[in-house]
Amino acid sequence: MTTRFSLAELANMLHTTVEAVRAAVDDLSKRGELTAESFEYGYRNWRIAPSDTKKIQAWIVQKVESGELEIRPPVRKIRRKEVLPSNGSDT
């Protein structure tokens, strides 16, 4: 059985965003450049074959270098939890 990757797994492996991987997969699929081992299931979910990862990576690099695709780093969110001191009485 062939190992296949989800869009999130592939994005993590390529150190990019899921949106960039989805754009690459959608475009390559429309052009018929993905192998039959990669397939869409459900609604916009993909299982990507290892043999297609280099094509996807090359597509992303080419689009970033040409300025057609901008990959922004995720925004860091900081949450602060404030704990109120107890006054010592249980009322």
| 36-87 tens-digit pLDDT | 898 888 887 889 999 999 999 999 999 998 888 888 777 778 888 888 888 7
What pLDDT sits at residue 68? 85
pTM, two decimal places:
0.74
- Whether residue 35 is contained in a domain is answered as yes
- The amino acid at residue 65 is E
Q: Are 47 and 38 a contacting pair, CB within 8 Å?
A: yes
- Whether residue 9 is contained in a domain is answered as yes
What pLDDT sits at residue 1? 58
Give me the domain span that covers residue 27.
Answer: 1-51
CA quadruple 62, 68, 69, 72: dihedral sign: positive
For the chain, what is the radius of gyration of the CA atoms?
21
Alpha helices (H) along the chain: 7-14, 18-30, 53-66
> How many folded domains does the chain comprise?
1
- Whether residue 76 is contained in a domain is answered as no
Beta strands in 22-87 (DSSP E): 39-41, 45-47
